[in-house]
């Protein structure tokens, strides 16, 4: 094994040989008219950049190709205004004006010898068409997904013919952009083709409804159209839901077997998934790696065409097993490719200890839901490749001979020390505790979060390869000590601590809680437990922690009530697509849930609760109260050093900055990202007006719109 990284030059080094056990992963696979150079297939995934930031998007995909993914796909790509993705920033191929952006993406992917795939999508009744405002259409008169007060109208035969024509035209545009694969998409509950296929949404009585033969008619027609249009210039991929998870009310595995007997030989490659998007991108809290296997097993035997499948596949052993046991022909991956765009190359080069495994947290998904560039807990360069010039494996060499002290080895400190080390700086990473990892170590011990320790594992292994980074455990550092050594730069990454006074979003002044036993997440994470049996968890944080702590305490046999001012339990986990599962799990564990409700005070073993919409109070007998509200940054050392700025020159100190949670408490992803930012920006030339590059919309000619208004007035 080599280090894979040479400190200073910080470029990947490939001088080891892969384990022959993994040879199968690197066999080429024929996909109709094109050949994938290995079995790694980056399945479509959105990225919050899409048509709005096409260059940033293109460069991100190019880096995946550089990292060895033989097939690199777009996200879903709208192809006609009868179906836009509303506020979501996805791909777009409405007309020829959209082609150059796609051609740029294709060029980036081709530059590294990979195939580029385009996933055409017609969302139909899954989208309210908020942008274009054209009433959506689908197989039946049914409300659109979500709670938008809009209904899709049932498609006429003319509409069906139009849809087929739009898909054909879009295929031609995808070919003009240079794509090697064009998708026919019938999955995730998100597409008109699936809506026709499923008895749940197809209520028609004509030749497109009723029997499976009829419901599959449109899928077959579009597959045939796309094959004809591609005419051997690109492969046709079909993404298909193998089980909608609605039991007999929707598509089940048995019906998919039947479907394969009808259209199994049509596409050049099958891309399988299960359920809706929250099922498909299941977090580690709710599913293991490879959870999809029982749903996929046996399908490959029903077609001669290669089969791709997903399941948060990060372990080469699992991948090899799925291939050898005949479940899959290609390893599909979205999140593993986000967390480690160089996963294939690292396996190929025998650098398994350099793998940066996805932790299954779905922070990547939040970028899509918040319409912002994709982010990743494990890979802080994700979404920053073009606009900030960050690369998942490379970083520019150091800008000076300065020595750097990083105080605190949580996610921000680990990332900062690792990347500074790769840049070639001499770094001391001082940690007050006895192990690396900070909050990640204790949070990873909570129910369902064990995979999160990979954030530490990866960085620990990398640090061990950097002789210029010294790790000092059980080393509490004071301002006097810092000023007594010869560090030029000091990064204080000492984390944050949870408040004990109830201040948070709902209350910005401390709560009156009498002599109630108060516990914070820090107490519980450190091993403390409530004295009594009846515990109230007040969650004004709204991400995962309140719900996980309630789960922990309930599993330990306590009677738990979770109180939150939000209208949903762990409300922000809507963005990670976990919210419904969290609610269900808490109910299964017998946790009482009080939403839209706040604790307004406590005395004599009684908590006073008030509704946030209606101020009538109620009371709840309890023994202990867990407050999950807000945190305070652990920036004391940084503040102490800043207060002694006059002594810096003599001590040789040039800069002091708090980093990560010590700068502003946030997610683990934000802490890692800030650690990376610190390492990237050290010794960077200053003076740039903007912190990152952006792509500005080209102005269209004004005349046409203005002229129309004038004409109307006249």
Q: Rule CB under 6 A: which residues touch ligand FMN?
A: 43-46, 75-76, 119, 187-188, 239, 273, 280-281, 310-312, 333-336, 364-365, 368
Question: Please, what is the minimum distance in Å from the beta carbon of residue 363 to ligand SF4?
Answer: 4
- Residues shown for the chain: 714
Which of ligand SF4, ligand FMN, none lies near 537, with the C-beta cut-off 5 to 8 A by kind? Answer: none
CB 592 within 8 A of CB 564: no
> Residue ranges of the alpha helices (H) in 556-659?
579-588, 636-643, 648-651
Tell me whether residue 5 or residue 197 sits nearer to ligand FMN (CB atom).
197
Crossing angle of the two packed helices 217-230 and 157-177, in degrees rounded to 10? 30
Whole-number Å distance between alpha carbons of 148 and 128 = 7
Identify any residues that bridge with 597 across adjacent strands, giving them in sequence order.
611
Biggest CA-to-CA distance, the chain = 86
Which of ligand SF4, ligand FMN, none lies near 311, with the C-beta cut-off 5 to 8 A by kind? Answer: ligand FMN
Tell me whether residue 77 or residue 656 sits nearer to ligand FMN (CB atom).
77
Residue 224 CB burial class (10 angstroms; 0-12, 13-18, ≥19): middle
Sole binder of ligand SF4 in the list 197, 307, 364, 409 (CB under 6 A)? 364
Which of ligand FMN, ligand SF4, none lies near 672, with the C-beta cut-off 5 to 8 A by kind? Answer: none
Tell me whether residue 131 or residue 277 sits nearer to ligand SF4 (CB atom).
277
Q: Nearest Cα to 138, choosing from 63, 89, 198?
A: 198
Q: Is 577 in the site for ligand SF4 (CB under 6 A)?
A: no
Tell me whether residue 357 or residue 661 sits nearer to ligand SF4 (CB atom).
357
Q: Nearest Cα to 237, choosing from 251, 253, 226, 225?
A: 226
Q: Is 327 in the site for ligand SF4 (CB under 6 A)?
A: no
Sole binder of ligand SF4 in the list 319, 363, 471, 620 (CB under 6 A)? 363
Q: Is 335 in the site for ligand SF4 (CB under 6 A)?
A: yes
Whole-number Å distance between alpha carbons of 356 and 339 = 6
Strands (E) located in 129-250: 137-138, 142-143, 151-154, 181-186, 235-241
Question: Please, what is the minimum distance in Å from the beta carbon of residue 448 to ligand FMN?
Answer: 16
Q: Is 404 in the site for ligand SF4 (CB under 6 A)?
A: no
CB 139 within 8 A of CB 202: yes
Which of ligand FMN, ligand SF4, none lies near 378, with the C-beta cut-off 5 to 8 A by kind? Answer: ligand SF4
Whole-number Å distance between alpha carbons of 434 and 702 = 64
Which of ligand FMN, ligand SF4, none lies near 436, with the C-beta cut-off 5 to 8 A by kind? Answer: none
Q: Nearest Cα to 320, choosing from 31, 116, 38?
A: 38
Sole binder of ligand SF4 in the list 338, 409, 430, 656 (CB under 6 A)? 338
Question: Please, what is the minimum distance in Å from the beta carbon of residue 185 to ligand SF4?
Answer: 21
Which of ligand SF4, ligand FMN, none lies near 339, with the C-beta cut-off 5 to 8 A by kind? Answer: ligand SF4
Sole binder of ligand SF4 in the list 46, 216, 241, 339 (CB under 6 A)? 339
Tell me whether residue 123 or residue 366 sits nearer to ligand SF4 (CB atom).
366
> Which 80-99 positions form the footprint of ligand SF4 (CB under 6 A)?
none
Question: Please, what is the minimum distance in Å from the beta carbon of residue 186 to ligand FMN?
Answer: 10
Q: Which residues contact 606 (CB under 8 A, 6 or more apart)?
A: 619, 620, 621, 622
| Count of helices and strands (H, E) across the chain | 24, 29
Question: Please, what is the minimum distance in Å from the beta carbon of residue 576 to ligand FMN?
Answer: 10
Strands (E) located in 93-163: 115-121, 137-138, 142-143, 151-154
3-state secondary structure of 416: helix
Question: Please, what is the minimum distance in Å from the beta carbon of residue 571 to ligand FMN?
Answer: 20
Whole-number Å distance between alpha carbons of 126 and 124 = 5
Tell me whether residue 241 or residue 469 sits nearer to ligand FMN (CB atom).
241
Tell me whether residue 456 or residue 599 sits nearer to ligand SF4 (CB atom).
456
Question: Please, what is the minimum distance in Å from the beta carbon of residue 545 to ligand FMN?
Answer: 22
Question: Please, what is the minimum distance in Å from the beta carbon of residue 494 to ligand FMN?
Answer: 31
Tell me, residue by residue from 368 to 387, as one string, x for binding to ligand SF4 by CB under 6 A and - for no binding: --------xxx---------
Residue 668 CB burial class (10 angstroms; 0-12, 13-18, ≥19): buried
Active site residues: 46, 185, 188, 280
Tell me whether residue 139 or residue 367 sits nearer to ligand SF4 (CB atom).
367
H/E segment holding residue 74 = strand 71-78
Whole-number Å distance between alpha carbons of 391 and 195 = 40
Tell me whether residue 386 or residue 498 sits nearer to ligand FMN (CB atom).
386
Tell me whether residue 59 or residue 359 sits nearer to ligand SF4 (CB atom).
359
Per rule CB under 6 A, count of chain residues that contact ligand SF4: 13
Tell me whether residue 377 or residue 462 sits nearer to ligand SF4 (CB atom).
377
Question: Please, what is the minimum distance in Å from the beta carbon of residue 533 to ligand FMN?
Answer: 39
Joined tokens for residue 660: 């990560």
Question: Please, what is the minimum distance in Å from the beta carbon of residue 303 to ligand FMN?
Answer: 19
Which of ligand SF4, ligand FMN, none lies near 542, with the C-beta cut-off 5 to 8 A by kind? Answer: none
C-alpha dist (Å) from residue 329 to 113, 180, 201, 314, 487: 20, 18, 31, 16, 53
DSSP class of residue 267?
S
Which of ligand SF4, ligand FMN, none lies near 45, with the C-beta cut-off 5 to 8 A by kind? Answer: ligand FMN
Joined tokens for residue 544: 């995962």
Sole binder of ligand SF4 in the list 160, 237, 322, 361 (CB under 6 A)? 361
Whole-number Å distance between alpha carbons of 394 and 391 = 5
Q: Is 653 in the site for ligand SF4 (CB under 6 A)?
A: no
Query: Would you tell me how many other CB atoms lie within 10 Å of the CB of residue 398?
Result: 21
Whole-number Å distance between alpha carbons of 359 and 451 = 5
Which of ligand SF4, ligand FMN, none lies near 368, with the C-beta cut-off 5 to 8 A by kind? Answer: ligand FMN
Tell me whether residue 86 or residue 634 sits nearer to ligand FMN (CB atom).
86
Question: Please, what is the minimum distance in Å from the beta carbon of residue 691 to ligand FMN?
Answer: 24
Query: Would you tell me how many other CB atoms lie within 10 Å of the CB of residue 209?
Result: 17
Sole binder of ligand SF4 in the list 47, 362, 402, 579 (CB under 6 A)? 362
Q: Is 672 in the site for ligand SF4 (CB under 6 A)?
A: no
Which of ligand SF4, ligand FMN, none lies near 359, with the C-beta cut-off 5 to 8 A by kind? Answer: ligand SF4
Residue where the block lists tokens 């390869």 = 465
Residue where the block lists tokens 């849809």 = 163
C-alpha dist (Å) from residue 712 to 82, 425, 702, 704, 708: 27, 67, 16, 12, 6
Which of ligand FMN, ligand SF4, none lies near 239, with the C-beta cut-off 5 to 8 A by kind? Answer: ligand FMN
Q: Nearest Cα to 550, choosing from 471, 446, 650?
A: 446
Q: Is 355 in the site for ligand SF4 (CB under 6 A)?
A: no
CA atoms within a 13 Å half-sphere pointing along the CA-CB vector of 265? 3
Question: Please, what is the minimum distance in Å from the beta carbon of residue 46 to ligand FMN?
Answer: 4
* Residues making contact with ligand SF4 (CB under 6 A): 335, 338-339, 358-364, 376-378
């Amino acid at each position: 094994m080599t280090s894979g990284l040479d400190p200073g030059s910080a470029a990947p080094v490939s001088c080891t040989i892969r384990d022959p056990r993994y040879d199968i992963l690197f066999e080429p696979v024929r996909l109709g008219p094109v050949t994938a150079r290995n079995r790694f297939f980056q399945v479509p995934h959105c990225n919050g950049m899409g048509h709005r930031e096409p260059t940033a998007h293109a460069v991100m995909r190019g880096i995946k190709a550089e990292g060895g993914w033989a097939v690199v796909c777009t996200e879903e790509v709208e192809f006609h205004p009868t179906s836009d993705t509303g506020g979501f920033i996805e791909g777009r191929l409405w007309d020829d004006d959209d082609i150059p952006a796609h051609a740029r993406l294709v060029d980036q992917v081709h530059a590294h010898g990979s195939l580029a795939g385009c996933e055409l999508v017609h969302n139909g009744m899954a989208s309210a068409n908020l942008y274009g405002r054209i009433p959506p259409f689908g197989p039946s008169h049914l409300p659109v997904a979500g709670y938008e007060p809009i209904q899709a109208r049932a498609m006429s035969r003319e509409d069906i013919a139009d849809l087929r024509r739009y898909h054909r035209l879009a295929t031609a545009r995808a070919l003009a952009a240079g794509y090697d694969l064009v998708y026919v998409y019938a999955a995730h509950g998100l597409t008109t083709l699936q809506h026709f296929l499923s008895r749940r949404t197809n209520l028609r009585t004509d030749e497109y409804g009723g029997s499976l033969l009829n419901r599959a008619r449109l899928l077959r027609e579009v597959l045939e159209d796309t094959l004809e249009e591609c005419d051997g210039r690109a492969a046709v991929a079909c993404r298909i839901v193998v089980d909608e998870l609605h039991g007999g009310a929707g598509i089940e595995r048995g019906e998919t077997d039947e479907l394969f007997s009808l259209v199994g030989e049509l596409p050049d490659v099958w891309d399988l998934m299960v359920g809706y998007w929250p099922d498909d991108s299941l977090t580690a809290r709710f599913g293991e790696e490879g959870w999809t296997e029982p749903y996929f097993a046996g399908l490959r035997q029903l077609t001669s065409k290669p089969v791709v499948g997903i399941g948060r596949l990060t372990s080469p052993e699992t991948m090899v097993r799925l291939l050898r046991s005949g479940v899959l022909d290609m390893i599909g991956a979205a999140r593993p490719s986000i967390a480690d765009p160089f996963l294939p190359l690292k396996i190929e080069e025998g650098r398994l200890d350099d793998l940066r495994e996805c932790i299954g947290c779905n922070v990547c998904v939040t970028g899509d839901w918040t319409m912002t560039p994709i982010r990743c807990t494990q890979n802080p360069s994700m979404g920053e490749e073009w606009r900030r010039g960050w690369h998942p494996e490379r970083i520019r060499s150091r800008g000076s001979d300065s020595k750097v002290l990083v105080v605190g080895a949580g996610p921000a400190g680990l990332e900062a020390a690792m990347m500074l080390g790769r840049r070639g700086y001499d770094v001391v990473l001082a940690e007050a505790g006895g192990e690396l990892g900070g909050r990640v170590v204790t949070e990873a011990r909570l129910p369902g979060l064990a995979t999160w320790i990979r954030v530490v594992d990866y960085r620990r292994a990398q640090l061990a390869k950097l002789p210029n980074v010294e790790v000092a455990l059980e080393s509490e550092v004071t301002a006097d000590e810092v000023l007594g050594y010869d560090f030029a730069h000091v990064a204080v990454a000492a984390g944050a601590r949870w408040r004990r006074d109830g201040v948070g979003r709902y209350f910005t002044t401390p709560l009156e809680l009498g002599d109630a036993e108060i516990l914070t997440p820090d107490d519980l994470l450190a091993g403390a437990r409530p004295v009594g049996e009846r515990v109230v968890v007040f969650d004004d944080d709204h991400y995962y922690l309140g719900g996980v702590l309630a789960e922990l305490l309930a599993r330990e046999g306590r009677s738990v009530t979770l109180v939150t001012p939000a209208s949903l339990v762990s409300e922000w986990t809507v963005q990670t697509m976990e919210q419904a599962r969290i609610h269900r799990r808490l109910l299964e564990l017998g946790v009482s849930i009080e939403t839209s409700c706040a604790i307004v005070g406590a005395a004599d073993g009684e908590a006073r609760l008030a509704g946030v919409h209606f101020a009538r109070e109620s009371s709840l007998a309890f023994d202990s109260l867990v407050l999950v509200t807000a945190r305070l940054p652990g920036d004391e050392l940084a503040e102490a050093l800043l207060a002694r700025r006059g002594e810096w020159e003599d001590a040789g100190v040039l800069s002091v900055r708090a980093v990560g949670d010590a700068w502003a408490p946030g997610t683990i992803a934000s802490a890692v990202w800030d650690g990376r930012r610190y390492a990237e920006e050290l010794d960077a030339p200053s003076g740039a007006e903007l912190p990152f590059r952006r792509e500005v919309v080209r102005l269209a000619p004004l005349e046409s719109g203005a002229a129309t208004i004038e004409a109307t007035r006249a």
